[in-house]
Amino acid sequence: MRTLLVAAVLLHLGSAVCDWHQQEKQLAGDRKSDRDNHGCRACKTVPVSADACPESGYECKENWSLTTKVLTVADCSCAEARCADEKARLAVNGVMTDKLRCNNSRWTVGLEGTTVAESVICAKYCDTPVCKDRHMDASPDYYPLPIQAGNAETKCAFAQCEHGISALNEDGTFDHAVEADTATCSSDGRWRVGEEEKQEYLMCNSPPCGPTVCRNSHPDAIGLLPLTVNCAPGECAMAKCEGGFVQLNAIGSVVGPITGVDHLDCKANGKWSAHGGAEYTSVMCAQPQEEKGQSRA
């Protein structure tokens, strides 16, 4: 009798274990089916296309990869996709967003999921604040890049220089002349010239009549003041004197005053010009009348 009872119990336990394994197998199958077919977890790979890039202000590359949130058996969240690079954002139909959400087996934008992402691309900002316009220690032979906002053609910010572009070293000294008159900003903060070259510091060359071309004083002159020289970016240097201009000879002696002019313009030949007329090699400023009176007193 006891033997029959033990046999019955073992038979019942064996049946229970078999049922448990069957249930686990069924549950695992249900979970797999849920992962594969659930509306917010069944999105396929989203197509990447350059057409999704904004018209301007962003640099987009198809090889900047996307990452999708990987779901586990115990994860009940809907799938999400974003750019693998934290510095990049997703562009969908020319509009920037941080991530996509899987909704009804389609990748969508926003919490409501009303905008379907037919194609996307990862993008990085590359407009006017990204690249530097100058090196703070550069000489007056260069002036800051006139940066313009990106457009449909350039995408990123760009700069053009009338008299050529120079690449500068980390300390602001000259490195080499750039064989182009236009540079385009890259999202990494460096200027792109052509297909290959990238430089952090680019500046425009001053015109051949820039601030270092014409002298503002003579080393042997006595009792005179240096010219006050100003130079707007890309323009010739201009000199002014509060006390009037004085012409000097080669040894620094006074030749006489230059009258009838309120400023002088620097020419490419290194001479100062009075309204496009007479030219002077060496010019300085006379002391203002008030200072002369004070010195006599």
In this prediction the pTM is 0.68
In a domain, 32, yes or no: no
Please give the pLDDT value at position 64.
94
In a domain, 38, yes or no: no
Give 103 or 9, the one with higher predicted confidence.
Answer: 103
Q: What is the DSSP letter of 169?
A: -
In a domain, 157, yes or no: yes
In a domain, 2, yes or no: no
In a domain, 214, yes or no: no
Please give the pLDDT value at position 9.
43
- Number of Cβ within 10 Å of residue 220's Cβ equals 11
Residue 52 burial (10 A CB sphere; 0-12, 13-18, 19+): buried
In a domain, 217, yes or no: no
Give 253 or 33, the one with higher predicted confidence.
Answer: 253
Q: What's the rounded mean pLDDT across residues 184-188? A: 96
Give 206 or 53, the one with higher predicted confidence.
Answer: 53
Q: What's the rounded mean pLDDT across residues 85-94? A: 94
Q: What's the rounded mean pLDDT across residues 19-24? A: 61
Domain count, the chain: 3
| DSSP code string of 25-92 | HHHHHHHHHHHHH-TTT---PPPB-GGGS-SSSEEEETTS-EEEPPP-TT--SPPEEEESSTT-EEEE
- Range(s) of the domain holding residue 272: 228-296
In a domain, 290, yes or no: yes
In a domain, 117, yes or no: yes
Considering only CA atoms, which of 207, 221, 225, 215 is closest in space to residue 264?
Answer: 215
Tell me: do 241 and 289 sit in the same domain: yes
Q: What is the DSSP letter of 215?
A: -
pLDDT tens, position by position, 232-289? 877 889 999 999 999 999 999 999 999 999 999 999 899 999 987 899 999 999 999 7
